Structure 1
Amino acid sequence: MRDPHSPPPGRGRGPYRPRGRRFPPVPRGARRHTLLRAQLGAVTALLAVLLAACGSGSPSGSASSGGGSATKLTVPAGSVSAAQGAFQYTVSQGFFRKNGLSVTTPLSAEGQLKASFVAGSVDFDQLAGGDVLDLYAKHVGVKVIGCTATTTGYYLYAKKGTASVAALAGKNVGVPSLGGAPQVAMEAYLVSKGLKADAVKFVPLGSIPNVLTALTSGKIDSGLLSTPFNFRADKADLADLGYATGPPTPYLVNSKWAKQHPDSVTAILKSLADGAWSYQTHKDDAVTSLGKFLGLDPSKPADKATLSKSFDAYLPPVQAPVGRCSADYFTPYVKYQPASQRQSLKNLTPLIDNSYVDSLDKQGFYQKLQQTYGPLPKGTTLAQVLR
């Protein structure tokens, strides 16, 4: 379509000249030079556009030039655990790409992940419930958009010969970071056994693998482990003192980013639910993916057995495809947060945003997943997933 502000097209040969004022004829050499200069200008402009397009890769959480929604996300993995199995499968099997998202998952210490939300360098991730409460109490702009379970659990192991939880009074307990989910779970477990929440000393060690190393070397008295590290603790003949549960580990978004990119939040949840449903109904593929993440080889009998047990350990109700969250899942653990934070944690309702899951439910998205993949293991129903 012609620009309405451009002159009308020429008639016959030679350039068009408007009626009225007459212009002197343009010399042939000058005319050729003018045409060449115009062509060079057009090429230069085109190159500038192409270079700008090549250099405009969207950073984490930024808007892409196509549809105005964030497509590239950096989602650090806070632990090397079978608990990450479904998420890593969702990445490696292309479920995020299917929904227009490009996701990378570098490893990160638990404490660093929380700091990334504070700094605004991460827009979406899964974060331990205790850390979520800490961020909310400090008025960091975050929203919980989904949960895979109502609690998160850890296995408590101690030095050989430790007979009971009561024997840990005054001893040290290894955790990845202070104030994180394992510590909160342990404090709740101590209280359930008739001890005070501060009956032990918590030692931050950076990661759960580090906790196991410190425990087997005798540097700490006890520690909280996740799968598959509890299997290694069993092989080392450490004392198994039970299972401590704490708040869930929800999916979290930066509030400001989510408000600007609601379509990306929906795409994230669709990817997570689709990927987890596929993961939990295709064990062979899931075990292969999990082996790559944990550094285990399913072709080796011992590794295959570990991977199989690790997969089974995170089937529903321990983990399900992402569904709704509730403030009630977090409220019982507020008392284990620092006293200075508890007033800010009295009303957790604004922390939770189930609107995205609600919308997908109304659209029949979850029903379609069940039709595609079949029922989830252990007779898990849609109502149990959606909560």
Structure 2
Amino acid sequence: MSRTTRALCATAVAAGLLFASACAPSSQQNQATDAKQVSVLPAGVSLSGKTGTPAPKPLAQRASLKVGIPSKLELEAPALLAQVYGEFGKENLDVTFVTDTVPNLLTLLGQDKIDLVYAGAQALVFNALRHGVPIRWVSGVASSSPDSGVYMSTKYGSKASDFNPASLKGKNIGVNPGALAAPSEYGLYDLITKGGLKPDDVRMTPFSDIAAMVQALNNGSIDGATLGPPFTASIKPGTAFNAEGGYPDSMQIAGYFATTVLLGEHRDAGVAFFRAVERTVNTHLSGDYHQDTDVMTKMAQQLGTTVETLRIAPSVPFDFNVPAESVASLQKMYQAVPNTLQIDSPVKPEELIDLSLVIDAAQGK
């Protein structure tokens, strides 16, 4: 597939359109093109380490990468702070951040105009892979925060162990825009499934203003809501309880995406990027880093907020792994939403996940 055709395919994916035959991938295009591809973290391999590791390994020649981010979130702090602390410079690497919507960023990725995209593993990622874009999920971002999940009104219980998921039937649940078409709603989908229900059995009300969703939960105008930090701190005591976590440790819902171009001819730059990012986490963003004034001051400056606002939420448990279960679990959720997953056959973990960059980085290669 030519670069032009692949770009058109990526644009069609981002727009949610049906694909022309020109976008149909050959069997060769649908396979990993990088011989080092590793879709499952090998036993005994860790992506975390001690302060100052992995050590810098400067590139022989100065390289540059463009990294797409949809907005400045704490989940993107490892890359943003790697820039601030000069970790990319230590690798002889220049990094430029490009801010845009996820569909636009993935289109640019398919056009080879940017090298990496931070995003949730949305349905359009799976659609893009099936329609010829050689996209790979190359890194996770974090484990689910203990405070994230589906919060139900105390009219329906007081703790998760006593809550019957079947009682969700007919309830009005506040959700993020996109509802079950967004990976952030996996906890709600899991709860619906545990209750033996279908998505249509639950009324989902999307909120673009998450603060307004918290207010609706507090005043009883909705029965529940899918929430995460820092918004969970605004739930009135005794109003709601966490009925289901955001997502289990056995899966990931977001991270960095690249194409086989970065995994192939520009591989050294990709490994250098993740050496810098992993070193930033190991040095500055491990444990309860919210208590580190220097880190928090720099993070607040990058995110355009205040230290006090950031400290409302707990420190993020950064995790670069992408468990294989993530691929199947997210596809099952997207299949439950009409016209969301536009693929003929399920995507297998080994087709999408490639952890070789983060593994090589952690091992100092």
Q: Give the direction of change, closer, same or farther, for the CA distance of 1:102–1:360 in structure 2 (3 Å limit).
A: closer
Residue number in structure 2 paired with 1:196 = 198
Q: Deviations over 1:293-350 (max 9, x none)?
A: 565544xxxx27x617422xx23xxx23x3x534333223322222765653242202
Residue number in structure 2 paired with 1:291 = 300
Q: Give the direction of change, closer, same or farther, for the CA distance of 1:136–1:230 in structure 2 (3 Å limit).
A: farther
Moved more, 332-341 or 185-194: 332-341
Q: Would the aligned equivalents of 1:166 and 1:193 in 2 still touch at CA under 8 Å?
A: yes
CA positional deviation for 1:251: 1.8
Residue number in structure 2 paired with 1:310 = 314
Residue number in structure 2 paired with 1:73 = 66
- RMSD of equivalent CA atoms: 3.7
Q: Deviations over 1:118-154 (max 9, x none)?
A: 5655431222134444443444321122224566883
Q: Residue 227 of structure 1: SS of its match in structure 2?
A: coil
Residue number in structure 2 paired with 1:8 = none
Q: Residue 178 of structure 2: SS of its match in structure 1?
A: coil
Matches within 5 A, 1:8-19: none
Distance 1:207 1:139 in 2: 35
Q: Would the aligned equivalents of 1:128 and 1:181 in 2 still touch at CA under 8 Å?
A: yes
Q: Residue 252 of structure 1: SS of its match in structure 2?
A: strand
**Counterpart residue type for residue 86 of structure 2:** G
**Counterpart residue type for residue 259 of structure 1:** G
Distance 1:143 1:110 in 2: 15
Residue number in structure 2 paired with 1:353 = 354
**Counterpart residue type for residue 351 of structure 1:** L
Distance 1:275 1:156 in 2: 31
Distance 2:301 2:267 in 1: 32
Q: Give the direction of change, closer, same or farther, for the CA distance of 1:217–1:308 in structure 2 (3 Å limit).
A: closer
CA positional deviation for 1:267: 1.7
**Counterpart residue type for residue 156 of structure 1:** V
| Greater RCO (CA < 8 Å, at least 6 residues apart) | 2
Q: Which has more radius of gyration?
A: 1
Residue number in structure 2 paired with 1:173 = 174
Q: Would the aligned equivalents of 1:79 and 1:109 in 2 still touch at CA under 8 Å?
A: no
Q: Residue 229 of structure 2: SS of its match in structure 1?
A: coil
Residue number in structure 1 paired with 2:56 = none
Q: Would the aligned equivalents of 1:174 and 1:220 in 2 still touch at CA under 8 Å?
A: no
Gaps of 5+ in 2: 1-59, 158-162
CA positional deviation for 1:199: 2.8
Q: In the alignment, is residue 224 of structure 1 matched against residue 235 of structure 2?
A: no
Q: Which has the higher helix share?
A: 1
CA positional deviation for 1:231: 1.0
Q: In the alignment, is residue 104 of structure 1 matched against residue 105 of structure 2?
A: no
Q: In the alignment, is residue 278 of structure 1 matched against residue 270 of structure 2?
A: no
**Counterpart residue type for residue 182 of structure 1:** S
Q: Give the direction of change, closer, same or farther, for the CA distance of 1:255–1:347 in structure 2 (3 Å limit).
A: same
Distance 1:89 1:144 in 2: 22
Q: Residue 173 of structure 1: SS of its match in structure 2?
A: strand
Distance 2:116 2:104 in 1: 14
Residue number in structure 2 paired with 1:142 = 135
Q: Give the direction of change, closer, same or farther, for the CA distance of 1:151–1:286 in structure 2 (3 Å limit).
A: same
Residue number in structure 2 paired with 1:6 = none
Q: Would the aligned equivalents of 2:173 and 2:224 in 1 still touch at CA under 8 Å?
A: yes
Distance 1:236 1:139 in 2: 50
Q: Residue 104 of structure 1: SS of its match in structure 2?
A: strand
**Counterpart residue type for residue 287 of structure 1:** M
Q: In the alignment, is residue 336 of structure 1 matched against residue 345 of structure 2?
A: no
**Counterpart residue type for residue 307 of structure 1:** R
Q: Would the aligned equivalents of 1:78 and 1:110 in 2 still touch at CA under 8 Å?
A: no
Q: Residue 193 of structure 2: SS of its match in structure 1?
A: helix
With normalisation by structure 1, the TM-score equals 0.59
Q: Deviations over 1:22-50 (max 9, x none)?
A: xxxxxxxxxxxxxxxxxxxxxxxxxxxxx
Q: Residue 129 of structure 2: SS of its match in structure 1?
A: helix
Q: Would the aligned equivalents of 1:158 and 1:239 in 2 still touch at CA under 8 Å?
A: yes
Q: Percent identity at matched positions?
A: 17
Residue number in structure 2 paired with 1:123 = 115
Q: Give the direction of change, closer, same or farther, for the CA distance of 1:110–1:236 in structure 2 (3 Å limit).
A: farther
Distance 1:276 1:176 in 2: 30
Residue number in structure 1 paired with 2:189 = 187
Distance 2:168 2:346 in 1: 30
Distance 1:120 1:196 in 2: 39
Gaps of 5+ in 1: 1-65, 366-387
Q: Would the aligned equivalents of 2:174 and 2:204 in 1 still touch at CA under 8 Å?
A: yes
Distance 2:62 2:210 in 1: 39
Distance 1:200 1:134 in 2: 26
Distance 1:147 1:83 in 2: 10
